[in-house]
Amino acid sequence: MRDLSAARQGPYIAASPLVRPLPPATRLLLRGNSEVMAAALGALGLEFAETACRAASASGRSALWLGPDERLLLAPQGAFSEVFELLRAALAGRPHSLVDVSHRQCALEVSGPQAGLLLNCGCPLDFDPAAFPVGMCTRTVLGKAEIVLWRTAEHRFHLEVWRSFAPYVSKVLALAARELTP
Amino acid sequence: MLLINCPYCGERPELEFVHGGQAHIARPANPAECSDQQWADFLYRRDNIKGLHAERWRHTHGCGRFFNALRDTTSDLFLATYKVGEQPPTQAQLKGATA
């Protein structure tokens, strides 16, 4: 596979004090049954659990639960070959689907004590730490765009946004941030 | 906002969901033996119930799963949701849940 990462430009991200773009990353979408998930997460050194809407994370690698048979795997940009080969070896002979979606999405980070309040401008989920604890992740909607939301700390959220939705999502957040006191 | 209880993810806002038509419609085991009328009924004819209706829903902007729901079409009240392949709860079970 030709590496075109040097020629690629990130999408436009509206400036906002609470939102910052995260660097490019390796993203793989894995689908398969529990056996496949257990083998894949084991190979990546992550803890496997069937619990819905929870992310496992260790040493820069993460696996986000998106559905009973679907996980989004995240790793640093340079780790693609290593992660892909690990997964290919671990999943050989098991029916599964492993798709590289690194370039389909970009990541945003929303942080600050008002991060949950800011996201509530377009996302009706309850961001109380009891209802949406640290480590919870889910696919949901923000305004008119579908996003993947992951709470990495009490006052920090990781957003996976499709590339073409990123200008819209960042503008919605930047506009809403003007309503909040800095 | 109306909350719908996804059997996998729990209570979620309605705008994450998509309606998927009537539930529990079994495909004929051997379509070649069906008359045209039977096949057309399977494909197109649906109940239009006023009251309790078993429907398919999909958590499109969430886990992506299809599931079934018992909904009152007059009040838009979701009485129960359950996974595909399971039987809908009986009246007695519903009464026990709401009592």
pLDDT tens across the length of chain A (182 residues): 666 666 667 788 888 889 999 999 999 999 999 999 999 999 999 999 999 999 999 989 999 999 999 999 999 999 999 999 999 999 999 999 999 999 999 999 999 999 999 999 999 999 999 999 999 999 999 999 999 999 999 999 999 999 999 999 999 999 999 988 76
Position A117 scores a pLDDT of 95
Angstrom distance (rounded) from CA A81 to CA A29: 15
Sketch the domain layout of chain A as residue ranges: 19-177
- Nearest chain B residue (CA) to A137: B62
Q: Is there a contact between A141 and B61 if contact means CB atoms under 8 Å apart?
A: yes
For the stretch B17-36, pLDDT in tens is 999 999 999 999 999 999 99
Enter the tokens of residue A17: 């004090």
Q: A-side interface with B, Cβ within 8 Å?
A: 52-53, 66-68, 70, 124-125, 138-141, 146
Across A133-155, b (16+ Cβ under 10 Å) vs e yields eeebbbbbbbbebbbbbbbbeeb
Nearest CA in chain A to B1: A124
Q: What is the pLDDT of residue B26?
A: 92
Q: How far, in Å, CA of A76 to CA of B17, rounded?
A: 33
Per-residue pLDDT band at B1 (split at 50, 70, 90): confident
pLDDT at B93: 83
Interface of B with A (CB under 8 A): 1, 8-10, 12-13, 15-16, 61-65
For residue A123, what is the DSSP state?
Answer: -
How high is the pLDDT of residue B7? 95
Judged against a pLDDT cut of 90, whether residue B50 lies above it is answered with yes
* pTM for this prediction: 0.89
> What whole-number distance in Å separates Cα of residue B19 and Cα of residue B59?
9
Return the pLDDT at B90: 86
Q: What pLDDT score was predicted for residue B11? A: 94
Cross-chain CB nearest to A68 (options B8, B16, B61): B8
CATH code assigned at B42: 3.30.2270.10
What is Dmax (Cα atoms) for chain A? 55
- Compare CB distances from B63 to A68, A124, A125 and report the shortest one's residue: A68
- Tell whether the model's pLDDT for residue B92 goes beyond 90: no
Instruction: Compute how many other C-beta atoms are within 10 angstroms of the C-beta atom of residue A34.
Output: 11
Range of the domain at B92: 3-98
Domain tally for chain B? 1
d(CA B58, CA B26) in angstroms, rounded, equals: 18
Q: Give domain A19-177's CATH architecture.
A: 2-Layer Sandwich (3.30)
Distance from CA of B45 to the nearest CA of A (A): 32
pLDDT at A180: 87
Residue A2: the pLDDT is 66
